A and B are shown apart, each in its own frame.
Chain A
């Protein structure tokens, strides 16, 4: 039987790349599931089947899953969508007799702790709502696994690369703006970077490998640079002047000053988005002010970032290496080089 793979969240950063690679490896094998049609511009470049797949609707998922033999579940949203969406996807997969499911989780299930982590380490997301919701999705995977569904859970680390707003575009723009810098003492934590194509590689292996069934794997890159090393490497690849050393106090003050601005902007956008957009469209002054505010917010580190960049932590992908023969293909240098080529082509810089 020809394998037919549904990718949920195909309009997103990782889901989009999974669709591209699966299509290239086996044309005609992919069905790309998107919540909104408007997120399909990237995958629409390929002759792949695109279907609406809103994971919060059992009916939508059921329809998207017709005739499918495997599912890669990448769709994500708020905590409720993550948990209930996963429940629906697993339920429908079981109902449809799907042979394999690969579920994208995260190392955020370990929370913000220092040390060395393996799959044997108990998860402890703490107060992080994202990590906590993903922990619950993993529990659901275990439950459906016990009911006979062949599931593999992958926990990627910091996934970067083309189309990554969070770990690629924003950092590059901050560095290019020349106004964002952090003191070295706050960036000596471990940056567990994994290039997006290495995550896709792990998905491809998991879909095929019998030993992957019922297992959870950490997926990390080859190197363990510090955040400071990542920022410098990215800065150099962008061809920017060397990063200036920053005062710890100044950075803290800047983060402290921007915190209420950030919170207020978030609140206003959440509560009054249609009105804000109307004002944005109709007033050039408002448009200019909003753009300046957006840039200022983006270029200022948050308090949470100080914590993240200081954390000395390593997520070990030894199990994936041993059981699945997974080896990361892309060094940090390779990944940054490809990311910068993409950033330039897409006029982000």
Chain B
């Protein structure tokens, strides 16, 4: 069990925002700005000090620094939003300095790294939270509850299709290419595989995994998996728009929906009866649920709550990611390979 903060719950904690890229500007800083007393003490950290300063000024943070090591003595909590490759070393340093961490997804590149962070958090008695905020979608919770309650019967099939042209306002080149290493599977897949593992109650085995990486970051990924009697498919893309749906088929009923309709689940019973389940939610846009997760982190830092998504919760999905990449094969792309016909 994670022991919570020794920080005094009455005083506003010092939160460091480590990495001031697009996600910090679009999500974390606006979420934090809803708590002026915390924002006033917050610190923006980025090796690009001009960017850190600009963010601190825009949102009213107390100061900006270039190195995260410079805030480790002061910060009660840190939001780690650096390029994914750096999640592990930065988070490890912060945990070792007894700083609570909310880390962007995916928590780490490898399962060994994730286990290392979980162990370090336990050892230092601090919280390790992860921004897998899709777990907070009422639709995600409902599907998990339907499965757990046996409403769907034995689950036989699970599928996710999530694709859209990449339009994240990336502030740097860190998303793509050989240096980034991992693409759409680590990006969208970090959410999807987490839901798969969460819903099914464990890590499935990889039947096959293929993507379109040719030495850089994959932009299309296709996974076939199996867990007990359930087989499943996940297909993700940064290059084209998919139907963006999920479906969980059981012996008694099928639950499905659109990925961005966080307050609706379609339930179809084998008898043919269909129901649209409308779920209570105060969220107007998906980002609102991200704000809820950040609020949970602030409560964790203040010793008022446990993490809603802890590092140990996402470990199965990190293991699954790891397995996918280790078994990667290139998907067939005859339109790509047609370059051979052009001649040298």
A interface residues with partner B (beta carbon < 8 Å): 20-21, 24-25, 36-50, 52, 161-162, 197, 200-201, 204, 281-282, 284, 329-330, 338-339, 341-342, 345-348
Query: Do A339 and B335 touch (CB < 8 A)?
Result: yes
Alpha-carbon gap, A347 to B164, bound state (A): 11
Quick one: CB contact mask for B163-189 with A, threshold 8 Å, 1 for yes?
101111111110111101001100000
Query: Do A46 and B215 touch (CB < 8 A)?
Result: yes
Query: Do A347 and B243 touch (CB < 8 A)?
Result: yes
Partner of A329, one of B170, B178, B341: B341
Of the four ranges (under 10, 10 to 19, 20 to 34, 35 or more), the interface on chain B belongs to 35 or more
Q: Which residues of B sit under 8 angstroms from A346, Cβ to Cβ?
A: 163, 220, 237, 239-240
Interface residue B217 (Cβ < 8 Å from any Cβ of A): yes
Query: Do A41 and B344 touch (CB < 8 A)?
Result: no
CB distance from A160 to the nearest CB of B (A): 12
B interface residues with partner A (beta carbon < 8 Å): 161, 163, 165-173, 175-178, 180, 183-184, 212-220, 235, 237-243, 261, 284-285, 333-336, 338-344
Q: Is the interface of B mostly helix, strand, loop or mixed?
A: loop
B217 to chain A: closest residue by CB: A44
Q: Which residues of B sit under 8 angstroms from A200, Cβ to Cβ?
A: 339, 342
Query: Do B242 and A342 touch (CB < 8 A)?
Result: no
For this complex, 13 residue pairs linking A to B, each with C-beta atoms less than 8 Å apart, are A37-B171, A38-B168, A43-B216, A45-B218, A45-B219, A47-B214, A48-B177, A50-B177, A161-B335, A201-B343, A204-B342, A346-B163, A346-B240
Alpha-carbon gap, A48 to B284, bound state (A): 40
Alpha-carbon gap, A345 to B218, bound state (A): 15
B344 to chain A: closest residue by CB: A25
Q: Which residues of B sit under 8 angstroms from A339, Cβ to Cβ?
A: 335
B330 to chain A: closest residue by CB: A45
Query: Do A47 and B215 touch (CB < 8 A)?
Result: yes
Query: Do A282 and B284 touch (CB < 8 A)?
Result: yes
Contact A197 B168, CB 8 Å, known A25-B344, A282-B285: no
CB distance from A325 to the nearest CB of B (A): 11
Alpha-carbon gap, A162 to B169, bound state (A): 24
Q: Which residues of B sit under 8 angstroms from A201, Cβ to Cβ?
A: 342-343
Contact A50 B169, CB 8 Å, known A44-B180, A284-B261: no
Q: Which residues of A sit under 8 angstroms from B184, Cβ to Cβ?
A: 41
Contact A41 B239, CB 8 Å, known A20-B339, A197-B341: yes
Contact A162 B335, CB 8 Å, known A38-B167, A48-B177: yes
Partner of B161, one of A39, A44, A50, A347: A347
Q: Which residues of B sit under 8 angstroms from A36, Cβ to Cβ?
A: 169
Query: Do A342 and B176 touch (CB < 8 A)?
Result: no
Given contacts A46-B214, A50-B173, 19 further A-B contacts (CB under 8 A): A21-B342, A24-B339, A37-B171, A38-B167, A38-B168, A38-B169, A38-B170, A40-B177, A41-B166, A45-B217, A46-B177, A46-B216, A50-B177, A161-B335, A200-B342, A201-B342, A201-B343, A347-B237, A348-B240
Alpha-carbon gap, A342 to B217, bound state (A): 19
